[in-house]
Amino acid sequence: MGTKNFSSANDLITFSRASGGTALRRVAYGSELVTNGTFDTDTDWTKGTGWSISGGQATHVAGTGSNLSQSVSYGSAGTVYALSVDVVSISGGSGSIQARSGGTTTAKTISSLDSGTTVTLIYGHDGLNTDVAITTGAGTNITVDNVSVKEVLFDQGDLTLFNHPAGIPRIEYDADGNVLGLLVEESRTNLLPYSEDFEQSLYVKDPSVSITSTNNLSPSNENNATLITVTDSQRIYANNTSITGVVSVFIKAGTFSNFKIKTNTVDLVTKTVSAGTLEEFPNGWFRYTSEEATLARFFQIQAYPNDSYLLHSDTGTYYIWGAQLEAGAFPTSYIPTDGATATRSADVASIPVADFGYNQSEGTVVVEGTQYESSASISRFVELYGGGTGSGGSLSLGVYQDNSWIETYNGDVLNLYDVKVSGERQKMASGFDSSGNTFCGDGNILGTPSTSSLVNPSSVSLLYVGVHWAGIQQLNGHIKSIKYFPRKLTAAQLQELTT
The answer to whether 27-157 and 348-498 have equal CATH topology is yes
C-alpha Rg value of the chain to the nearest Å: 26
Q: pTM of the predicted model, to two decimals?
A: 0.92
Instruction: Give the architecture (CATH level 2) of 27-157.
Output: Sandwich (2.60)
pLDDT value, residue 230: 95
Instruction: Tell how strand 378-385 and strand 394-400 pair up.
Output: antiparallel
pLDDT value, residue 452: 58
Contacts of 153 (CB under 8 A, 6+ apart): 27, 28, 29, 30
Q: Tell me which of 7 and 341 has the higher pLDDT.
A: 341
Q: Could you tell me if 480 and 381 are in contact, meaning their C-beta atoms sit under 8 angstroms apart?
A: no
Determine which of 38-47, 178-187, 407-416, 486-495 has the lowest per-residue pLDDT on average.
407-416
> What is the average per-residue pLDDT within 180-186?
96
The pLDDT > 70 percentage for the chain reads: 91
Write the secondary structure of the chain as one string of H (helix), E (strand) and C (coil).
Answer: CCCCCCCCHHHHCEEECCCCEEEEEEEEEEEECCCCCCCCCCCCCEECCCEEEECCEEEECCCCCCEEEEEECCCCCCCEEEEEEEEEEEECCCEEEEEEECCEEEEEEECHHHCCEEEEEEEECCCCCEEEEEEECCCCEEEEEEEEEEEEEECCCEEEEEEECCCCCCEEECCCCCEEEEEECCCEEECCCECCCCCCCCCEECCCCEEEEEEECCCCCCCCEEEEEEECCCEEEECCCCCCCEEEEEEEECCCCEEEECCEEEECCCCEECCCEEEECCCCEEEEEECCCCCCCCEEEEEECCCCCCCCCCEEEEEEEEEEEECCCCCCCCCCCECCCEEECCCEEEEEHHHHCCCCCEEEEEEEEEECCCCCCEEEEEEEECCCCCCCCEEEEEEECCEEEEEEEECCECCCCCEECCCCCEEEEEEEECCEEEEEECCEEEECCCHHHCCCHHHCCEEEECCCCCCCCCCCEEEEEEEEECCCCCHHHHHHHHC
Q: Could you tell me if 42 and 51 are in contact, meaning their C-beta atoms sit under 8 angstroms apart?
A: no
Please give the Cα distance from 222 to 121 (Å, whole number): 12
**348-498: CATH, from 2.60.120.200, 1.10.40.50, 2.40.40.20, 3.90.1720.10:** 2.60.120.200
> What are the pLDDT digits (tens) for 375-427?
877 888 999 998 876 667 788 888 877 777 777 776 555 666 666 666 788 89
> What is the average per-residue pLDDT within 322-341?
93
Q: Where are the domains of the chain?
A: 27-157, 190-342, 348-498
Q: Tell me which of 51 and 441 has the higher pLDDT.
A: 51
The pLDDT > 90 percentage for the chain reads: 65
Model confidence at 241, pLDDT cuts 50, 70, 90, reads: low
> What are the pLDDT digits (tens) for 356-375?
889 999 999 999 999 988 88
User: Does 61 have pLDDT greater than 90?
Assistant: yes
Please give the Cα distance from 439 to 491 (Å, whole number): 8
User: Does 303 have pLDDT greater than 90?
Assistant: yes
Determine which of 17-31, 376-390, 458-472 has the lowest per-residue pLDDT on average.
376-390
Please give the Cα distance from 305 to 314 (Å, whole number): 7
**Of the candidates 275, 278, 348, 294, which has an alpha carbon nearest to the alpha carbon of residue 19?**
348
pLDDT value, residue 293: 62
Mean pLDDT of the chain: 89
Model confidence at 283, pLDDT cuts 50, 70, 90, reads: very high
pLDDT value, residue 8: 55
Q: Could you tell me if 395 and 384 are in contact, meaning their C-beta atoms sit under 8 angstroms apart?
A: yes
Q: Which fold, 190-342?
A: Jelly Rolls (2.60.120)
> What is the average per-residue pLDDT within 54-60?
97
> What are the pLDDT digits (tens) for 130-173?
899 999 999 999 999 999 999 999 999 999 999 999 999 999 99
pLDDT value, residue 1: 42
> What is the average per-residue pLDDT within 318-323?
97
